[in-house]
Amino acid sequence: MTDTIKIKLNVPREILEITEALQNKGFLAYLVGGCVRDSLIGREPKDWDITTNATPEQIIPLFAKTVYENKFGTVTVINEKTEDNKLKNVEVTPFRTEANYSDRRHPDEIKFSDKLEDDLSRRDFTINALAYNPEAGELIDLYGGIRDIKDKVIGTVGEADKRFTEDALRMLRAIRFACELRFMCNKEVLDSISRNNALIKEISAERIRDEFVKIIDSPEPMNGLILAHQTGLLNHILPELEKGIGMEQKGEHVYDIWEHTVRALQHAADRGYPLHVKLATLLHDLGKVKTRRPGLKGKEFTFYGHEVVGERIAIDFMARLKFPNKLADLVVKMVRNHMFFADPDKITLSAVRRVIVNVGPENIWDLMNLRICDRIGMGRPKEEPYRLRKYESMIEEALRAPTSVGMLKIDGKQIMTVTHETPGPKVGHILNALLEEALNNPDINTVEYLEKRAIELAKLDEKALKELADKGKSKKEEVEKGEIKKIRTKYRVK
Ligand code: ATP
Ligand code: MG
């Protein structure tokens, strides 16, 4: 082979043990695909794939524990000695050559080959078609993958038109790698996608979803969506988003619905928010397209109920791409509730509580983060303004357990048991009197002390007990006020 470069790549010992086991038996063994690409770029590989001229029957006996995947001839070598997931399951696949793709999805049959060249030629992009022999320290680059890594370019192995018609998912993968690696697709790739985008319709929802999610979850989702739009792919995946192009919003917004969305999403990526926040950001305003109406009195447009229409769009999109139910439900809930951030002068604590119940307390800060992205997508400066801090403060106030007799390690029932009192105001007085003591000295909040003290309090005359109870109530209010003041100070709001 001519395109062989001497180079030393850092390969974990656990992986070298596998390639050495194969080589010791006289087989060829190469690292291939994403791990070679990422090592050259200086990214940490997600997993390590090995390709070999050994057949599955020859691979299996070389390792203590393996799992055989019949469909692709892949043998997964299980390394139980490591805790690192990337090294635990290592896929060893015989050199393969792929015959025809009459359905544009799957090769008609998978054939093993004894030549590395065959295996590399079936791979999608030049940067993914590099193989590395760790023993010899040799990199095999038959398609200019190293040059493309240097130039930060995504180019196909062979003619783009041919490769994209064979397997249409590769079009979306081209964009995915461009955003994940911050590379550019070359002109041939872009032109070919523009010609062939409709073929993506033949690809299963699950495969589209997995690549689309990687675009959304990449460092550059904004570029990814722009590319997907320009090449015509987005039209087959999320046409609802494209309908927002050129649809002005005015008012608080400087951008149209489309640009607002992609900028908001980019902010979610820049902030490193989790996937569900990104998906909710992507979908949150799509209901605006259908709800836009001319507004009255200086308001150019209104979008009343867009979160309800948007909820339908989100349900539909998540189902279309067969997202798991749990993720879909969460994203839909966030879209439905993203409008609770109304005017901070009008919003009440009970309204905030209702939203917390609707999205779940575990998701309320994610909803807040969606709101932050939403705001940046309007073209606002990065600093948090008063109104955002006010929402945050209200969320924290609503989430905290209020100061109350519920904090005591004893309840009315236990008090009645130890004091033999019957239900009535006296039990409440005892609880409030106990609360006063516990607020002054949290150490006494033990079942043992409180039971003993309840018996003593029950013996006081009504007036004395009532006085203690009233002191408890005002102490409670004082503590409550102090706690809320602390929260408001933290967020610098009134
Ligand atoms: P990642 O690090 O994101 O997993 P990767 O390069 O490993 O990136 P995979 O989807 O795991 O990507 O695929 C592994 C390798 O298999 C690719 O590098 C590529 O060589 C090859 N490959 C995967 N899917 C295709 C495809 N549809 N057509 C051709 N080759 C493919
Ligand atoms: Mg991979």
pLDDT tens-place values along the chain, 494 residues long: 469 999 999 999 999 999 999 999 999 999 999 999 999 999 999 999 999 999 999 999 999 999 998 888 899 999 988 989 889 999 999 999 876 667 776 776 778 999 999 999 999 999 999 999 999 999 999 999 999 999 999 999 999 999 999 999 999 999 999 999 999 999 999 999 999 999 999 999 999 999 999 999 999 999 999 999 999 999 999 999 999 998 888 777 788 999 999 999 999 999 999 999 999 999 999 998 888 888 877 678 888 889 998 999 999 999 999 999 999 999 999 999 988 766 767 788 888 999 999 999 999 999 999 999 999 998 887 777 888 899 999 999 999 988 999 999 999 999 999 999 999 999 999 999 999 999 999 999 999 999 999 999 999 999 999 999 999 999 999 999 999 999 999 999 98
* pLDDT given for residue 251 in this prediction: 79
* pLDDT given for residue 269 in this prediction: 98
Q: Can you say how many angstroms the Cα of residue 394 is from the centroid of all Cα atoms in its chain?
A: 26
Mutate to test the pocket of ligand 1, among 92, 123, 159 (most ligand atoms within 8 A of CB): 123
Tokens of 23: 């080589």
How much distance in Å is there from the Cα of 34 to the middle of ligand 2?
Answer: 6
Could you tell me the CATH superfamily of domain 4-151?
Beta Polymerase, domain 2 (3.30.460.10)
Helix axes 364-376, 275-283, angle to 10 degrees: 50
Domain assignments of the chain as residue spans, ordered by start:
4-151, 158-237, 238-399, 405-491
Nearest CA to ligand 1 atom 1: 34
Q: How far apart are CA 224 and CA 208, in angstroms?
A: 14
Nearest CA to ligand 1 atom 6: 34
Q: Which residues 6+ apart lie within 8 Å of 200 measured at CB?
A: 168, 169, 171, 172, 208, 233, 236, 237
Nearest CA to ligand 1 atom 8: 34
* pLDDT given for residue 435 in this prediction: 95
Number of neighbours of residue 327 by Cβ within 10 angstroms:
14
CATH topology of domain 238-399: Hypothetical protein af1432 (1.10.3210)
Q: How far apart are CA 151 and CA 156, in angstroms?
A: 14
Measuring CA to CA, which residue among 240, 212, 214 is closest to residue 228?
212
How much distance in Å is there from the Cα of 122 to the middle of ligand 1?
Answer: 11
CATH topology of domain 158-237: Hydrophobic Seed Protein (1.10.110)
Nearest CA to ligand 1 atom 12: 34
Atom of ligand 1 at shortest distance to CA of 33? 18
- Find the residues whose C-beta lies inside 6 A of ligand 1: 33-34, 46, 123-124, 128, 167, 169-170
Q: Which residue pairs from 95-104 have beta carbons closer than 8 angstroms and sit at least 24 positions apart in sequence?
A: 95/51, 95/52, 95/53, 95/119, 96/72, 96/122, 97/121, 97/122, 98/122, 101/165, 101/166, 101/167, 103/202, 104/165, 104/166, 104/167, 104/168, 104/199, 104/202, 104/203
Measuring CA to CA, which residue among 27, 23, 31, 25 is closest to residue 7?
31
Mutate to test the pocket of ligand 1, among 124, 143, 176 (most ligand atoms within 8 A of CB): 124
CB 126 within 8 A of CB 148: yes
Q: How far apart are CA 85 and CA 74, in angstroms?
A: 18
* pLDDT given for residue 250 in this prediction: 78
* Tokens 């006010």, residue located: 390
Number of neighbours of residue 149 by Cβ within 10 angstroms:
19
How much distance in Å is there from the Cα of 79 to the middle of ligand 2?
Answer: 18
**pTM of the predicted model over 0.85:** yes
